[in-house]
Amino acid sequence: MKYYDYSGVIHFHSAFSFDGYVGLDKIIDAAAKNGIDFLMLTDHDHLQARDEGWEGWNGKVLLIVGEEIAPRFNHYLAFNINKPIKSPEDGQDMQPQKYIDAVNSSGGFGFISHPDHEGTKTFHVKHYPWKDWSVDGYTGISIWDFMTDWQSRLKGYLPSLLSFFFPAFFLRGPRRITLARWDALNQTKKIVGIGELDNHGSIVKIGAIKIAALPFSRAFKFVHTHVCTEEPLSGDHQKDIPLLFDALRHGRCYAAMEYFQPSRGFSFFIAANNAEYSMGDSLVLKDRARMSIALPESALVRIIRNGAIFAEETSKDIILSIRESGVYRVEAYLKRYGKYRPWIFSNPIFVKQ
């Protein structure tokens, strides 16, 4: 089956947020210059951008308005909701199951945000992890948060200065603890994995000089979420937003770091039972099946089955036979400047017997 691959950015903040600094016109312009197809805005505690008419196609960029529900811990990205769900004004935690249920009751869906965020002591950035894993009803989790990854490298002034100028060279990819939890969750139910950016366009003051720590023109070069739809986007946002949402909720998507090499052209299929199955799909294995992986450039590819390495190969195109049930996903690492850099992390295909 042919899919249409669209590159987007999930989770960022505009000037509509109390901690955002950049207007949506400048953000959308930066997205267009970086070849981004869609943006999923998540300002805190409101949907003002939608109320003011920003949701929809803005030139070649489709803007979707969601919300970040953000008490002290347990941040949640909510989409397809009609009205905002407020965080407590004192910043204390609400019970996350309550706002997950509220999002679902309104016909929406959501993702656990930056689940293993640690902050950075060097620059007094607080930690904002997800703490309550007893919850249910969420669509997925962030497996790769740019800010979690980047801020974890800020452990001294010289490394911090270098990572400020060259962020891509300091990124290590999704945290192993996050991937291990995601793999474990997928053993019992489908949990969609996304990439997120969490950029605010923050202003840093150095003496009398103010500079943008990560302007969107730079930030948009890093972690994207690609969504693969069954039909092409039409230019009508009332049709295109549900189309993207359906593919995203199904798990037909992957996270990728775009700085060194765009990832569009990646595909991951399993052929079995006279049909092809893609990310997010489930199949019953009656006999052997054939796994096919294609990349736009040769890379170190790891096929993960049930949380462990099933196969590893350096190639652009990989075909493998599989005879066992399991939850299969793909990781790809691109070699640049003498090191393998994190590149692509797919959602799984669920093989049952």
| DSSP one-letter string for 9-56 | EE-B--TTSTT--S-HHHHHHHHHHTT--EEEEEEET--HHHHTT--E
Confidence of residue 92 (pLDDT cuts 50, 70, 90): low
* Burial letters 284-311, b for 16+ CB under 10 A, else e: ebeeebebebebeeebbbbbbbbbeebe
**Percent of the chain topping pLDDT 70:** 93
Q: 0.75 cut: is pTM over it?
A: yes
The lowest-confidence range among 58-62, 81-85, 111-115, 152-156 is 152-156
- pLDDT digits 0-9 by tens, 39-69: 999 999 899 999 999 999 999 999 999 999 9
267-352 shares the fold of 4-257: no
Q: Are strands 267-272 and 289-305 parallel, antiparallel or unpaired?
A: antiparallel
Q: Are strands 223-229 and 326-336 parallel, antiparallel or unpaired?
A: unpaired
- pLDDT digits 0-9 by tens, 238-269: 999 999 999 999 999 999 999 999 999 999 99
Helix (H/G/I), strand (E/B), else coil: 275: strand
Cα(295)–Cα(315) distance, integer angstroms: 8
Domain coordinates of the chain in residue numbers? 4-257, 267-352
Q: Is 76's pLDDT higher than 90?
A: yes
Amino acid at 318: I
What are the backbone angles phi and psi of residue 221, rounded to the nearest 5°? Answer: -90, 0
Residue whose token pair is 């293993």: 116
Look at residue 330 in the predicted model and tell me its pLDDT.
98
Q: Taking a C-beta distance cutoff of 8 angstroms, is the pair 22, 46 a contact?
A: no
Q: Is 207's pLDDT higher than 60?
A: no
CATH number of 267-352: 2.60.40.10
Superfamily of 4-257 according to CATH: Metal-dependent hydrolases (3.20.20.140)
